[in-house]
Chains A and B, each alone.
Chain A
Amino acid sequence: MRLRPVPEMGACLAYDPVRARLATLNPTAWLILSLCDGRPRETIAEHFAREIASLPGEPPEPGAFARGLARLAALGLVTIHPPRLDRRESPP
C-alpha cells in the first residue's frame, strides 16, 4: 500500500499495487487507515475517538469509525479479522 497525501486537495491517495487500484480518502478516513496497524478494532476505535475529540468543531455522527472502517475494508484497503479467541476460551 502506498499513500500519497495531497494536502492541497484535503485528501490522501491510496494505491494498492497488488490490485492496481487507486482510492481517494478524506482526512477522517485517512486517519482511520493510519491507525490500522494490527491492533484490535476496539483499541483503534478508542484511539480514533480520542483524536477526534481533540479536534475543534463538531465531531462526525456517532458510528463514524465503524462506517469508515467498513468503507476502507470494502475498498480492500484494510482487512478486518475476527477477534482472536483467548486460549482459555478455545474449544478443546
Chain B
Amino acid sequence: MTTDPSPRALLARLGATEPGAAEIVAEVRTESVLPFFPDPGRDQASSGLMVSGRLAAIIGVTATLPWQRAAQLQDWLTERHGEDPDNTGEAELARFISGTIFAGTELAGTASYLGTYILAGRAQRTVRLLIGLTQPVAAERYGVAWARALDETRRADPGKFARLRGFLSLLLEDAGVTVERYVLLSAAGDLYGHSIATGPGGG
C-alpha cells in the first residue's frame, strides 16, 4: 500500500483542523568537547576556568580492582607511619599531592588531594582517586609535575617514594584505568556554541 504524500490525502484521513505551523528549532550537536586544560602557552586568565577560592577542576582516576587489591589499597591508606596516629599513608599521599607536585612553581598549592573513594552499592570494586585543582594547568605540565615530584621524592626520601609507588601500582597497575577531568560547570565557559576555550568573553 502506498501513501499519497499530499495534504489532501492527510486531510481526508485526519479531517481539517485549524492550520498549524511552527518552526523547528534545531539543536546542533557536534563532537566538540570541553577543554579541560588550556593549551600550553595560552593565557590562563582567558581560559574561562579561573575560579576564586574554589576548585576549578577535579581529576578523577578510576580503577576497577579485584577485591583483594581494593583491600590492599585500603590498608595502604590507613597504615600508620611512626607514632603519630594521624601520619597515615593517606595523609602522606595528601601532603605529596598538595605540597610536592607543583612545588617551586607559581602553581604551588593549587593541587589538593580530595580522597580515595570506593563506589558503594555495586558489586564491582571501583576505586576513585580525586585530585582538586584551583587553577587549570596544561596536561603536559601536569604530567611533568607528577614525574618531577616523584623523582625528587625518590632522591630525597627513598622510603616515602617506595610507599607512594606502591600505592600507585595498586591503583594503576591494571589496564582499564580511566582518568576523567571535571570542570566546574559554572566556570566552564559558554556552552551555547560560542568559543568555550576562550570563555564567556571569547569570540
Decide whether A and B are members of one complex: yes
The residues of A with any CB-CB pair to B shorter than 8 Å are 5, 7, 10, 12-14, 21-32, 34, 51-52, 55-61, 64-65, 67-68, 71-72, 75, 77
Chain B residue total in the interface (Cβ 8 A): 21
* In the complex, residue of chain A having the shortest beta-carbon distance to the beta carbon of B22: A24
A75 to B6, alpha carbons, bound, how many Å? 21
Show 29 A/B contacts (Cβ-Cβ < 8 Å), sorted by A. A5-B5, A5-B6, A7-B3, A10-B10, A10-B14, A12-B7, A22-B26, A23-B22, A24-B21, A24-B22, A24-B24, A26-B19, A27-B10, A27-B14, A28-B18, A28-B19, A29-B19, A29-B20, A31-B11, A32-B19, A52-B11, A59-B16, A60-B18, A64-B18, A64-B19, A67-B18, A68-B21, A75-B22, A77-B21
Check: B157 CB closer than 8 A to any chain A CB.
no
Contact with A along B118-156 (1 / 0, CB 8 A): 000000000000000000000000000000000000000
- Chain A residues lying within 8 Å of B19, measured Cβ to Cβ, are 25-26, 28-29, 32, 60, 64-65, 67-68, 71
A34 to B6, alpha carbons, bound, how many Å? 9
Distance (whole angstroms) from the CB of B97 to the closest CB of chain A: 50
- Cβ-defined contact, B18 with A21, below 8 A: no
A91 to B51, alpha carbons, bound, how many Å? 69
Contact with A along B1-34 (1 / 0, CB 8 A): 0010111111110111111111110100000000
- Cβ-defined contact, B20 with A28, below 8 A: yes
Number of A-B residue pairs having CB atoms within 8 Å of each other in the complex: 91
- Cβ-defined contact, B23 with A21, below 8 A: yes
User: Given known contacts A24-B21, A25-B21, is B10 in contact with A55 (CB within 8 Å)?
Assistant: no
* In the complex, residue of chain A having the shortest beta-carbon distance to the beta carbon of B18: A60
Partner of A60, one of B7, B16, B23, B24: B16
* In the complex, residue of chain B having the shortest beta-carbon distance to the beta carbon of A52: B16
- Cβ-defined contact, B21 with A72, below 8 A: yes
- Cβ-defined contact, B9 with A31, below 8 A: no
Distance (whole angstroms) from the CB of B16 to the closest CB of chain A: 5
- Cβ-defined contact, B23 with A23, below 8 A: yes
- Chain B residues lying within 8 Å of A64, measured Cβ to Cβ, are 16, 18-19
* In the complex, residue of chain A having the shortest beta-carbon distance to the beta carbon of B23: A23
- Chain B residues lying within 8 Å of A10, measured Cβ to Cβ, are 10, 14
A57 to B14, alpha carbons, bound, how many Å? 9
- Cβ-defined contact, A55 with B12, below 8 A: yes
- Cβ-defined contact, B20 with A51, below 8 A: no
A13 to B15, alpha carbons, bound, how many Å? 19
Partner of B12, one of A56, A60, A67: A56
